[in-house]
Structure 1
Amino acid sequence: MRRRALLALLLPAPALAQGAPPALLRPTVLLEGEALRLEDLWDHAGPRGGTVLAAAPLPGRRMILETPNLVNLARQYGVNWRPMTGSERVVIERPGRAIPRAEVEALLREELHRLGLDADSEVELPGFVAPLVPAAAMFQLAVEGAVLEQPGLRFAATLAVMAEGMPTQRLRIAGRAAPTVPVVVATRRLALGEVVGPADARAVRLRAERVRPGMAERLDQVVGQEVRRPLAAEQGFPLVDLGPPSVVLKNALVTLLLDAPGLQLAVQGRALEAAARGAAVPVMNLSSRNVVEGIAIGPNRVRVAMGAQPRQGS
């Protein structure tokens, strides 16, 4: 029985036109359009090559035609072809491109905002696989039937994908939303004592649950400030670790101005700590070796009131 079936497959089709060139089977077919035609399967398919056989598979999907299917098609449409081995097949694929996940999340966030969600919230879609559309087709997205649970911020909706050359796809999506807060993070590693420049920080939004209290939220809280401890790239700026830039550096030689009514003296000293303008700083008078406390008034300049008592232990 199997031999008889195979012999039937190998027999020439009875309806072939006289002198028609032999058709060449294409083992792999990549479809750009929305229909599969006879001429997609064979070169020299004959005068009926433009006949539509079926709808193309969905983008990213495939269909396979085995030898019996191909023989039936060749006989039905007069294609000058017959199988040589009985194991011929055609794999038909339709290339596609994935919908950008960011577009799906933005549209979903906009719809959930109408249901009361903060517009800047982060949207989680666990297990989401982006649908495919034809490679060159324009597409439109719509969110249907969205629901948002309060509290918990869990949501569910239907994503409708519409594109030329394919039927509308509808996918059920579900996940959770998380509120975000503004945070300023470093764009590079910052060493102790560095002054933050405009290019050293950027404003981002992070999930609220990941941000500690007391972090800088605006660039104007950071730019121009001195960091009081090292920071790694992409790390936030704790406000307690920021301060005005130091005008006096630790161990720097400074001019120590001794003020008295109608008199001002200047001696050389050494700052024992760093200080910003207007901050108190201990300074060693290099002449007397006494340590007095003064006020930083400018770059490496410290004012001390005449008669100031040396610090204990100096």
Structure 2
Amino acid sequence: MRWLVLAFALLAAPARGELATLRPFAVVDDAVVRLSDLFDNAGPRAAVVLGPAPAPGGRQVIETAQIAAIARANGIAWRPVGGGERVVLERPGRQLSRDEIVLALRGALRGQGLEEEAELEIQAFAPPMVPERAFVQLAVEGAVLDLPGARFAATLAIVAEGMPTQRVRLAGRVVATVPVLVATRRLALGEVMRAQDVRQARIPAGRLRPGSAQEPEQVVGQALRRPAAADQPIMLADLSTPLAIERGQTVTMIYDIPGMALTAQGRAMEGAPRGASLPVMNLVSRVVVEAQVVGPGRVRVGSLR
């Protein structure tokens, strides 16, 4: 009876290889694919290297026949059920940014006369992929700068853990840039501009519109004649001296009379900035006179009428 129980227990217990199950999808962080990337509970051979991993950011599909062959070669007791089994391997990656590459190029071209303000335009730029969390080093080889023709060429060597060294040929042109003032936020009609409302940016010289503000002194203290959008260039034609007096505003009229200081209340018939002239109606006599704006709410009249 005890032999019978033991035999039943042996038949009921799965073999060691039968514990492995296929992983239909796996993320590979290493430069190689291991047996454990294909099977769960692969046993003592789980760390066996099967081959190179997909390129960073890429994927690889292993079909049923190849999976079965790998299982047999490594003593994994696995058999396809429907014949459509597959494993999709993906390897995380990130694109090198244009800024990273341009920074390396600038370092190599600076010694050949590249100006700090110049912009580098890389032709047919396709950002190379590198492993997602790898430490990356960039080296520029054979850099050539043709200043008269405004062209450059170089080879970018990309060294990163978990991938072979890549070499990418780069070529492009050098673009001269000029300063331009842009709004730091949306500015409303009539708003008087402050230093913090603008910042200086650089754009290609060919894109500079005539009449663009380029220095803070040109705009600070000026009022907007039309709204300005954030990060858009400020046009000098859209600026005016802010009004010291608004149309219809009650003002103090100061009369210039030798030996006397005479004031009266008036109403501005137009708006005007400091120093400009405007018609003002005396609220007592109802006479309209020409006056000069001397400050907010104050005008000077040449003589008493």
Identify the TM-score tier after normalising by the shorter chain.
0.7 to 0.9
Aligned to 1:188: 186
- 1:97 Cα offset (Å): 1.8
Pair 1:287–1:43, CA change in 2 (3 A): closer
- Say if 2:256 is the partner of 1:259: yes
Report 1:79-228 matches (<5 A).
79-151=76-148, 153-186=150-183, 187-192=185-190, 194-227=191-224
- 1:84 Cα offset (Å): 3.9
- Say if 2:52 is the partner of 1:63: no
- Say if 2:211 is the partner of 1:233: no
Pair 1:215–1:110, CA change in 2 (3 A): farther
Percent identity of equivalent pairs? 50
CA distance in 2: counterparts of 1:86 and 1:233, whole angstroms: 61
* C-alpha distance after superposition, 1:44-100 (max 9, x if no partner): 333323222222222112233334433333333222223344544333221112223
* C-alpha distance after superposition, 1:93-145 (max 9, x if no partner): 21112223332233334444443333233333454232222222121222333
TM-score (norm 1): 0.78
> What runs of 5+ residues in structure 1 fail to find an aligned partner?
1-17, 309-314
User: Amino acid of the residue matched to residue 232 of structure 1?
Assistant: A
CA distance in 2: counterparts of 1:144 and 1:42, whole angstroms: 43
Aligned to 1:7: none
> What runs of 5+ residues in structure 2 fail to find an aligned partner?
1-13
Contact persistence 1:96–1:134 (CA under 8 A): yes
Contact persistence 1:203–1:217 (CA under 8 A): yes
User: Amino acid of the residue matched to residue 186 of structure 2?
Assistant: R
* C-alpha distance after superposition, 1:213-236 (max 9, x if no partner): 443223343233223x11321343
Pair 1:250–1:147, CA change in 2 (3 A): farther
- 1:151 Cα offset (Å): 4.4
CA distance in 2: counterparts of 1:299 and 1:50, whole angstroms: 83
* C-alpha distance after superposition, 1:221-270 (max 9, x if no partner): 3233223x113213433345545433222332222211121123223333
TM-score (norm 2): 0.81
- 1:286 Cα offset (Å): 4.3
Give the superposed CA RMSD. 2.9
Pair 1:295–1:83, CA change in 2 (3 A): same
Contact persistence 1:46–1:78 (CA under 8 A): no
CA distance in 2: counterparts of 1:47 and 1:196, whole angstroms: 72
Aligned residues: 289
